[in-house]
Amino acid sequence: MAISPSFLPAAAAITLAVDCMGGDHGPRITLPACRAFLERHPEASLRLVGLPEALKDFSHPRAVIVPATEVVAMDDPIEIALRKKKDSSMRVAIQQVKDGSAQAAVSAGNTGALMAIARYLLKTLEGIDRPAIAPQLPNSKGGATTVLDLGANVDCDAEDLLQFAVLGSALVSALTGNESPTVGLLNVGEEAIKGSETIKKASQLLRVAAKSKDLNFYGNVEGNDIFKGTTDIVVCDGFVGNVTLKATEGVAAMIVDFLRFEYSNGLFSKFAAIVSYPVLKALKKRLDHRRYNGAALLGLRGLVFKSHGSADEVAFGYALDRAYDAARNNLLDRVRARIAHAAPLLARAESAAPVDATSLPV
Amino acid sequence: MAISPSFLPAAAAITLAVDCMGGDHGPRITLPACRAFLERHPEASLRLVGLPEALKDFSHPRAVIVPATEVVAMDDPIEIALRKKKDSSMRVAIQQVKDGSAQAAVSAGNTGALMAIARYLLKTLEGIDRPAIAPQLPNSKGGATTVLDLGANVDCDAEDLLQFAVLGSALVSALTGNESPTVGLLNVGEEAIKGSETIKKASQLLRVAAKSKDLNFYGNVEGNDIFKGTTDIVVCDGFVGNVTLKATEGVAAMIVDFLRFEYSNGLFSKFAAIVSYPVLKALKKRLDHRRYNGAALLGLRGLVFKSHGSADEVAFGYALDRAYDAARNNLLDRVRARIAHAAPLLARAESAAPVDATSLPV
């Protein structure tokens, strides 16, 4: 994996706030993942947020239990999560970041609610209209491609795409140490002439940004370039990003199902499966979405990471590690510095367009 | 494969017009594919269009050579193909359909040029604003999911998506005999409340169409549903379709590359590869895009099928077969009947919005 967050020699003392109630499984997986995290990182601390009854058996010298009286359900509408459950574990965890008690928050809860609450409590950074969700996807180079936006913003204009490029560059530089990661604009062809009006305009903005050294803009890329690893970052609107991510998960699942079926189909195939075990195990590891769990919510005045709702202990641990790496490598400062440098380009009314919160994925 | 085009007992005498010069390889692959096609279908005839010099060695009792003096290059701009090369093999092949000399045309040439010329010569059907490209993708059910649009229309409105649903339903009923194929609207979530404004409006239009029995609308689907085979047809705009298709090709290629690498990595793995040969061969066949070659250009007053530019003889043969099946199962009449039935819904100015031809994939 290309992500090698240990490039900064000195690790600062970092505290993460964890929404222990979020996700499909809640404390049953978040608590063991937190314990393992504390063992992996002897200098880190956690603030574990949740119903006291659910967390009462957990104790660790570097963990503090922070009580919350409510839980945002995976299918709660945004309005309920935001307006009615004002003492939810999700909200209290983000409040820890706002108060400065934690450097980042992690939740496996409802994405739409998480984005809405994070945006409400933390606010967007100056120059950023819409926060974005930026996960990493595995690529053929053995590394990861950061794709954003993945689900938060279904209607984006060219300026939003430019902002996503700035935010994604800061994230990748914080996670990998590469100060000039390449940015590709997802399009239907590599030629600058192709694409929708929005994409053509975004391409122009990105070329201007590249000239002023705000970005390392590679040019247009196509869907397959995400997995070739042509660029470190791929920028697209949240609709395209969400559909593409789910479609590629669908293809991978189809292939794995097919291999499983074929290898269990007759005695000879079963024998082949046994001798192929190391290869199939390596494939499974390569395609294991758990390793890529933990997407940054970028563009806010604080760090929030979203774990997949169905994450198991291993996957949730990856999300915790990613938040930890981002925090100790000063992601927020990097985002601010990049935005400041790109300020003339990003000059546009802040928060002009409200996020259509009902369109967020869960 | 779910496509079983022999459901209509009586096969009419069908003639296809073939652009023999199109694609990356031209006559070297189109001519052998045509010969094999004529052998597979003893009642079919072909009109082989191209430079006489390139086709002079081909002769068959059911094939006629139709001369053309020009060839559209894979990288010719649309304007050149449309305005300058008026005697191109691509154009002459489509002219055969217009004249009634052939029931369908097949070309592996430049997609943008093919769409522009087909649209110019054949015109769109009444009630259809934008023709769409509709390929089939393999799904986990062992069948194929028809996805449209894939590349022709990068900016679509809700009415376009409704039209695509009508066109796709006609195609699937012609190719499979299923008179009520299910239609899914590609979205970021299954709930009707999700998606962009265009998608929400399209969802409403599709629900109205379902009530009047014009369509079998399933509801919103997500990216992974394409490969699950949740619905027979998935409707999306050309930008999303193109990016999704290429991204999924990218994932599949990454997995195959990975297996190849792992199986060639060390003696034991090589042994595993040998005993796994039948399984890997079956996987290769399952993922073989050649079997899905041949995308319909729908919404025109004549049948045109697009083969992948890099198609080999086998792949081009599949495109010929698909065009043949569509023609003998009266795809054009089916499209007309469905449009007539849905006319009150489709009531909108014909050809209001011109296709942005420069955005077409090659």
- Mean pLDDT (whole number) for A224-232: 94
Per cent of chain B over pLDDT 70 is 83
| Closest partner CB to A140 (pick from B249, B254, B269) | B254
Sequence-distant (≥ 6) Cβ neighbours of residue A215 within 8 angstroms: A165, A166, A169, A183, A206, A209, A342
Inter-chain touch A223–B239, beta carbons under 8 Å: no
- pLDDT score for B100: 96
- Mean pLDDT (whole number) for A162-186: 93
Answer whether residue B344 shows pLDDT above 90. Answer: no
Inter-chain touch A275–B279, beta carbons under 8 Å: no
| Closest partner CB to B151 (pick from A188, A197, A358) | A188
Answer whether residue A290 shows pLDDT above 80. Answer: no
On whether the CB atoms of residues B171 and B305 are closer than 8 A, the answer is no
Alpha-helical runs (H) found in B133-276: 158-176, 197-211, 225-228, 238-263, 267-275
- pLDDT score for A263: 66
Q: How far B279 CA lies from chain A's nearest CA (Å)?
A: 6
In the numeric block, which tokens belong to residue A33?
A: 């993942």
| Residue among A246, A264, A265 with most chain B CBs within 10 A, to mutate | A246
Distance CA B312, CA A324 (A): 50
Answer whether residue A9 shows pLDDT above 60. Answer: no
Contact residues, B window 34-93, toward A, CB-based 8 Å cutoff: none
Q: How far B191 CA lies from chain A's nearest CA (Å)?
A: 9
Chains A and B form CB pairs within 8 A to the count of 205
Distance CA A347, CA A10 (A): 35
The answer to whether B281 contacts chain A (CB < 8 Å) is no
Q: How far B100 CA lies from chain A's nearest CA (Å)?
A: 34
What pLDDT, in 10s, does the model give residues B280-338?
Answer: 677 766 666 777 889 999 999 999 999 988 899 999 999 999 999 999 999 999 999 98
CATH number for region B5-247+283-359 = 3.40.718.10
Q: What are phi and psi of B215, to 5 degrees?
A: -145, 155
Answer whether residue A350 shows pLDDT above 50. Answer: no
Which one, of A84, A95, A131, lies nearest residue A19 by Cα?
A95
Q: How far A223 CA lies from chain B's nearest CA (Å)?
A: 4
Distance CA A115, CA A361 (A): 10
The answer to whether A264 contacts chain B (CB < 8 Å) is no
Answer whether residue B55 shows pLDDT above 60. Answer: yes
- pLDDT score for B257: 77
DSSP state of A358: G
Answer whether residue B349 shows pLDDT above 50. Answer: no
Other beta carbons less than 10 A from residue A7's beta carbon: 11
Cross-sheet strand order for the sheet of A15-19 = A63-67, A45-50, A15-19, A104-107, A303-306, A295-298, A132-134
Q: Pairing mode, if any, of strands A295-298 and A303-306?
A: antiparallel
Distance CA B210, CA B138 (A): 26
Strand partners, B233: B146, B183
Domain boundaries of chain B, sorted by first residue: 5-247+283-359
What pLDDT, in 10s, does the model give residues A16-72?
Answer: 999 999 999 999 999 999 999 999 999 999 999 999 999 999 999 999 999 999 999
What pLDDT, in 10s, does the model give residues B159-217?
Answer: 999 999 999 999 999 888 899 999 999 998 776 667 788 899 999 999 999 988 889 99
